[in-house]
């Protein structure tokens, strides 16, 4: 029975990527410093690069206050806001 790899979220994909020698060495050095395999290090670096390349979230306006809002996950509690403001003053 053949299974479709796309149906498994943790299925590893093999691919070949040609890197310039200097970039390859930098990636190997990074992997060694992180105590990772080259594949794991490259996967992490690619993920970071793709995250950074994504467009900024769209700002919306709160219908009551008119202040700009952005949804980045879960709402913050009042205590978390106080903690963040305290950190900002340090």
Q: How far is CA 37 from CA 14, 25, 43, 82, in A?
A: 14, 13, 10, 41
Q: CB neighbours (10 Å) of residue 41?
A: 19
pLDDT at 11: 64
What pLDDT tens digit does each residue of the chain (90 aa) get? 445 545 555 567 888 989 999 999 999 999 999 999 999 999 999 999 988 888 777 778 889 998 988 777 788 889 999 998 988 777
pLDDT at 53: 84
pLDDT at 72: 72
């Amino acid at each position: 029975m053949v299974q479709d790899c796309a149906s498994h979220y943790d299925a590893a994909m093999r691919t070949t990527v040609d890197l310039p020698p200097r970039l390859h060495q930098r990636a190997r050095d990074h992997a060694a410093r992180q105590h990772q395999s080259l594949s794991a290090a490259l996967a992490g670096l690619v993920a970071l690069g793709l995250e950074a390349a994504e467009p900024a979230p769209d700002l919306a306006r709160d219908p009551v206050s008119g202040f700009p809002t952005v949804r980045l996950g879960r709402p913050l509690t009042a205590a978390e806001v106080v903690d963040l403001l305290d950190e900002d003053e340090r």
